[in-house]
């Protein structure tokens, strides 16, 4: 099964994708994570992407579809993937169709996480992750069980993204509205879209997504 999680920055895509990975053995393909790894490694893609990401603008379609294509050629993706943060433009949606078709795969669901825009700044500004295993947390909504210690791996080091500030979030939301939201009708016309209330508790959102994947 191949699914897309679609929603604005802070909607909960990464949080839900990592739960689906743990529960169902699906593989999460986050272009944001891949780009951040490229920036960290100083690769040519990373050098191009760094300033664009820091500004909250979109990296070029060629770059992101290129890295998705490479990733889809790895065998761990054969049983199903969760696209998290991709596609983000109509051109990327077309490129994804081509990438899947060339590999004899198809899309099963596009899950739209619908959220209240006012909540997004708060979610993003409070977001942080474990520096060691990447588990996601939030200052108010998802604190570690023991303060300062990662639930998953026990690390005491955490990090915040440079683009997770109130100012950049505004640009990212404008980008979402202008370039990403318009791809929903493309998938709606194909009968692929299911909408989930992204304002519900994290567990409830997971349950709603699982019900869609189970065809309930
Ligand atoms: P995205 O990948 O869509 O940008 P994340 O999954 O990183 O979003 O979530 C953004 C922040 O909001 C994280 O700190 C996360 O812990 C928190 N969060 C995610 N889902 C919810 C939810 N349903 N309710 C409250 N906070 C949430
Ligand atoms: P969020 O879900 O919080 O918006 P991501 O981690 O998905 O954040 O993306 C962070 C940044 O990486 C984006 O603001 C953008 O600059 C870049 N990026 C990630 N995915 C894409 C994509 N599919 N197309 C273009 N740029 C992307
Ligand atoms: Zn950890």
d(CA 71, CA 25): 16
CB atoms within 10 A of CB 55: 14
The ligand 1 atom at the shortest distance from the C-alpha of residue 204 is 23
- Write the residue with the smallest CA distance to atom 16 of ligand 2: 53
pLDDT in tens, 137-162: 999 999 999 999 999 999 999 999 99
Indicate the pTM of the whole model: 0.96
Distance from the CA of 186 to the center of ligand 3, in angstroms?
38
pLDDT in tens, 87-108: 999 999 999 999 999 999 999 9
Reported as a pLDDT band with limits 50, 70 and 90, residue 198 is: very high
Our answer to whether residue 170 is catalytic in this structure is no
Reported as a pLDDT band with limits 50, 70 and 90, residue 68 is: very high
Question: What is the structure's pLDDT at 61?
Answer: 98
85 lines ligand 2 (CB under 6 A): yes
Question: What is the structure's pLDDT at 25?
Answer: 87
Closest among 7, 44, 5 to 212, alpha carbons compared: 5
Stated as kind and residue range, the H or E segment containing 202 is helix 202-213
Phi, psi (deg, nearest 5) at residue 169: -60, -40
Distances (CA, A) of 176 to 10, 167, 168, 182: 11, 15, 12, 9
């Amino acid at each position: 099964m191949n699914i897309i999680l679609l929603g604005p920055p802070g909607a909960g895509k990464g949080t839900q994708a990592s739960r689906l990975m743990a529960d169902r053995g699906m593989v999460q393909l986050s272009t944001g994570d891949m780009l951040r790894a490229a920036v960290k490694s100083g690769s040519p893609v990373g050098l191009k992407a760094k300033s664009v990401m820091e500004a909250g603008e979109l990296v070029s379609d060629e770059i992101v579809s290129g890295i998705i294509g490479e990733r889809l050629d790895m065998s761990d993706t054969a049983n199903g993937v969760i696209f998290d943060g991709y596609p983000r433009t109509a051109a990327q949606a077309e490129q994804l169709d081509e990438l899947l078709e060339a590999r004899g795969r198809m899309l099963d669901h596009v899950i739209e996480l619908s959220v209240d825009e006012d909540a997004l700044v708060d979610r993003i500004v409070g977001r942080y992750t474990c520096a060691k295993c990447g588990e996601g947390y939030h200052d108010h909504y998802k604190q570690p069980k023991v303060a300062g210690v990662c639930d998953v791996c026990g690390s005491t080091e955490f990090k915040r993204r440079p683009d997770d500030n109130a100012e950049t979030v505004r640009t990212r939301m404008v980008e979402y509205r202008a370039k990403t939201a318009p791809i929903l009708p493309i998938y709606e016309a194909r009968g692929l879209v299911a909408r989930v209330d992204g304002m519900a508790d994290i567990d409830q959102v997971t349950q709603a997504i699982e019900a869609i994947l189970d065809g309930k």
